Amino acid sequence: MRGIGFAVVFGLWASSLSAEQEVDRASVLILDASGSMWTELPEGQSRIEVARDVLTDFLGARSGDVPLGVIAYGHNRKGDCADIAVVAPVALHDTAALGARLRALSPKGKTPLAESLRLAAAQIPVTAEAADIVLVTDGLETCGGDPCAVAKELSAAGVALRAHVVGFGLSATEVQQIACVAEATGGLVLSTQSGQELSEALIRTGATATASTEAEKVAPGKAQAHLTLRHDIAGRPARVSFRGVHETGTAMVELGVLDFAYADSLPVELAPGAWILTADAGEEGHGEAREVLVAGEARTIYVPFQGNLPSLELVPPLGAMRAAASGIFPFRITRAGLALGGADFQLTLLPADARALTDRAVTWSSQSGLEGAYVGRLNLPTDPGTYMVAFHRYGEEDLSHTLALFPLDIMDRPEVVLNAPDAVAPGAEIPVTVTGGFAHADRLEVWKDGQLYSWDQSLYMEAAFDNEYGPRKPLLAPQDAGSYELVYIFSDVDGPQSIAARQPLHVAVGVQYEEASANAPTPATSASAVAGTGDTDALQAQASSGQSQPEAVEGSGRDAVTSGFTCEQTGSCVFHDEAVGIMTIVPQGWSVDQPTRVAATAGAASAGQEGGVQMTFLAPGDDGQEGEDIVLNPHQWVPMNGPCIAVQAGLLCHFQAAPEATLAALELIRRSIRDTAPRRSPNPAEALSKVIEDLQREAPEAAAAMKGLLDAAAGAGN
């Protein structure tokens, strides 16, 4: 555990309140940034350096929904006892942003503890029925004030105030000199000498008054554990259940529920020895830790917690986008994850060779993680080239933790291709697929005699998709029969140059056609995964490098497709073409054609410097019919064919009338397929570790085979 090292008056909220509610419990954090904070600890770091790390952990462990106020002193001027300031008012704060502000404080001045206590008390709302102040100090008063007298004044003020004292690096005598602050208000006195101890003390002061008192009374032969969470980038739940199994038994012990609206930790008494502790928040996430407890000790345990992210459907745009335009990226959140805020996620545009989400990010925009349909935007750069687009949790840095990641070509004037029927009925919806363009203010229009027929026949591209304001708007044909044109218009371009694409359109009575959404995102169909069964060595032996003898696959519309590899193993096989750079799991009986990495074209679903990998998964049987297959990065794909879903390797498409067996195969392929080109996956083993972990539960042999291939690739320096 990293440490903390500066005098802090720290208040912890004990209840979660909205801005409209009256405050029934209040807290304030006061940071001592006096010059003594540069004193070096035995750990080899200064007190301020250790302090910054511990506060980062502590702020992450407490709920972001719980209001907090922050005061600091001594951080602006040397020798000035009036150097006290409110860093953050009592309110709800973004944990990362607040932590960054606290890390920027640089110790310089004196230690006005008494006046800081008064200022902390002044921040407590008048409606508060109770309050907590926690003083964590590395030194005593240096400005002539009397902290003990101030504590007595606060105790007599009529508010149920607890002031806790946590001495950091103080001698026993020094702790006793300032313990009067806690004694006057019924608070705790805690002495700490390391970052680990200080971190634990901060959590303990956040318990309720009853819990704090009981926590100091450790029963003979027992250990006191204060359970809390160290959450990942997904965030932390409002409530979590803790359970444990002792090394001497197999029965699961229910330890209790921690509600972060009322406390920052759950105090429990446990038998000494090794425990497997689990944190369960249901659909919001889980965590686990192994801890060895010693009789008589009282300490805080941070259980690592992995929060669930939303389920995302984001189909990468077909073709290139226009430089300097505002590009659109329709997406749908089908299941909200742990983070429920309105701007918890980002679309980020990165250079094609970026190694992290913060590596030379070109631009970004906030996105919602709430369930529903949205149209995200990115202001595209003026410089043409190949970039990467990532959809990810706010604050994330690791490329492998994105919810969607795909290449994007940006051009001065991208090629736009329209795919629509030659004729439609009067007033009918015009089913059209657009390749290239996709600026939010670009327009699809119906023209007659060289000009717009009517504004009723004009549609902004952004409106062609379901979004947070309602369902998409269709492009309708004129009511009058006749000869027209379907035209794509570049926004912010004047004259004839604004026309990016056009094609004839005949409106006539009696025309029949299949209506379809214009590039409308189609929800992916969920299905049970096909579990891999069979001998692991046999699976590894069957992992193909794309050199199998191809064989013709007959069937409707599939005569031109050849099979490069067929999985004859019971359960599933691992397919790995190192030359092309593609890896996936192939279900039993399914075949794949010879994959190819194609150059970027306007009609390609996946493009980049290396180009996307194109391949077809062929359903079992020589008599398989078109419609049962699955295609990765088809060169052209009409939405009426069926839905496409975004995967790490690009776009995975299946036909609308696919049978249940195809949908089951799709689920396994979707979860396992990876483009292992350096630009798409700089570290394949790291990027696929989560995939392997997921597959362990449903396809353990296949997961083991994939891990073996990855380990071999890593050993070879790939």
Task: Give pLDDT tens digits for 183-229.
Answer: 888 888 887 777 777 777 777 776 655 445 444 567 788 998 989 98
**Structure-model confidence comparison of residues 325 and 25, the more confident one:** 325
* Amino acid of residue 404: A
Q: Are 330 and 317 contacting, i.e. CB atoms less than 8 angstroms apart?
A: no
Two tokens at 374?
A: 């949205």
pLDDT at 640: 67
Tens of pLDDT along 351-366?
Answer: 999 999 999 999 999 9
Topology annotation, domain 417-507: Immunoglobulin-like (2.60.40)
For 508-629, strand residue ranges (E) read: 551-552, 562-563, 565-566, 572-577, 582-587, 591-592, 596-597, 613-618
pLDDT at 555: 30
Q: Of 412-426, 592-606, 700-714, which range is least confident?
A: 592-606
Q: Of 293-297, 551-555, 693-697, which one has max mean pLDDT?
A: 293-297
pLDDT at 714: 55
- Identify the residue whose tokens are 């492998």: 400
Whether residue 496 is predicted with pLDDT greater than 60 in this model: the reply is yes
pLDDT, mean of residues 126-131: 75
CA distances 584 to 246, 367, 542, 673, Å, are 40, 30, 13, 4
Q: Are 107 and 75 contacting, i.e. CB atoms less than 8 angstroms apart?
A: yes
Give me the count of residues in the chain: 718
What pLDDT band is residue 681 in, cutting at 50, 70 and 90?
low
Q: Are 283 and 308 contacting, i.e. CB atoms less than 8 angstroms apart?
A: yes
Write out the H or E segment, with its range, that includes residue 203.
Answer: helix 195-204
pLDDT at 533: 30
Per the confidence metrics, is the pTM higher than 0.85? no
Contacting residues for 363 by C-beta, under 8 A, at least 6 apart: 348, 349, 378, 379, 380, 381
Whole-angstrom distance, CA of residue 674 vs CA of residue 78: 57
**Structure-model confidence comparison of residues 271 and 24, the more confident one:** 271
pLDDT at 512: 57
Find how far residue 95's CA is from the centre of its chain: 15
**Structure-model confidence comparison of residues 550 and 167, the more confident one:** 167
Cα–Cα nearest to 411, from 702, 150, 607:
607
pLDDT at 280: 93
Cα–Cα nearest to 28, from 94, 155, 118:
118
Q: Of 141-150, 164-173, 460-469, which range is least confident?
A: 164-173
Q: Are 488 and 434 contacting, i.e. CB atoms less than 8 angstroms apart?
A: yes
Whole-angstrom distance, CA of residue 284 vs CA of residue 534: 33
Write the DSSP string, 106-135.
---B---HHHHHHHHHHTS-TT-SEEEEEE
pLDDT, mean of residues 221-245: 88
**Structure-model confidence comparison of residues 566 and 232, the more confident one:** 566
Whole-angstrom distance, CA of residue 51 vs CA of residue 34: 13
pLDDT, mean of residues 512-530: 34
**Structure-model confidence comparison of residues 128 and 181, the more confident one:** 181
Write the DSSP string, 12-54.
---S---TTSPPSEEEEEEEE-BGGGGPBPTTSSBHHHHHHHH
pLDDT at 98: 81
Q: Of 47-56, 514-523, 580-589, which one has max mean pLDDT?
A: 580-589
Specify burial of residue 700 (Cβ count, 10 A radius: 0-12, 13-18, 19+): middle
- H-helix segments, 112-237: 113-122, 147-155, 172-178, 180-183, 195-204, 209-215
DSSP designation for 580: T
pLDDT at 246: 92
For helices 113-122 and 147-155, the axis angle rounded to 10 degrees is 20
Number of C-alpha atoms within 13 angstroms, CB side, residue 249? 8
pLDDT at 503: 92
Dihedrals phi, psi of 623, to nearest 5 degrees: -100, 15
Whole-angstrom distance, CA of residue 536 vs CA of residue 541: 9
Whole-angstrom distance, CA of residue 350 vs CA of residue 380: 11
Whole-angstrom distance, CA of residue 594 vs CA of residue 545: 10
What pLDDT band is residue 689 in, cutting at 50, 70 and 90?
low
Phi-psi region of 35 (alpha: psi -120 to 50; beta: other; left: phi over 0): alpha
What pLDDT band is residue 270 in, cutting at 50, 70 and 90?
very high
CATH of domain 311-411: 2.60.40.1930
How many CB atoms are closer than 10 A to CB 503?
14
Instruction: Report percent pLDDT > 90 for the chain.
Output: 26
Tens of pLDDT along 6-19?
Answer: 333 433 333 334 43
Q: Are 690 and 703 contacting, i.e. CB atoms less than 8 angstroms apart?
A: no
Tens of pLDDT along 537-574?
Answer: 332 333 333 333 333 333 333 333 444 788 887 777 88
pLDDT at 531: 27
pLDDT at 461: 94
- CATH architecture of residue range(s) 8-206: 3-Layer(aba) Sandwich (3.40)
pLDDT at 87: 87
CA distances 681 to 570, 575, 712, Å, are 30, 17, 16
Domain ranges in the chain are 8-206, 238-307, 311-411, 417-507, 536-715
Whole-angstrom distance, CA of residue 239 vs CA of residue 120: 29
Secondary structure class of 525 (helix, strand, coil): coil
Q: Of 53-57, 70-74, 89-93, which one has max mean pLDDT?
A: 70-74
Q: Decide if 311-411 and 417-507 have a common fold.
A: yes
Find how far residue 94's CA is from the centre of its chain: 15
Number of C-alpha atoms within 13 angstroms, CB side, residue 45? 16
Two tokens at 383?
A: 């410089």
Mean pLDDT of the chain: 78
pLDDT, mean of residues 240-262: 89
Whole-angstrom distance, CA of residue 425 vs CA of residue 408: 36
DSSP designation for 474: P
Q: Of 45-49, 382-386, 623-627, which one has max mean pLDDT?
A: 382-386
Q: Are 648 and 674 contacting, i.e. CB atoms less than 8 angstroms apart?
A: yes
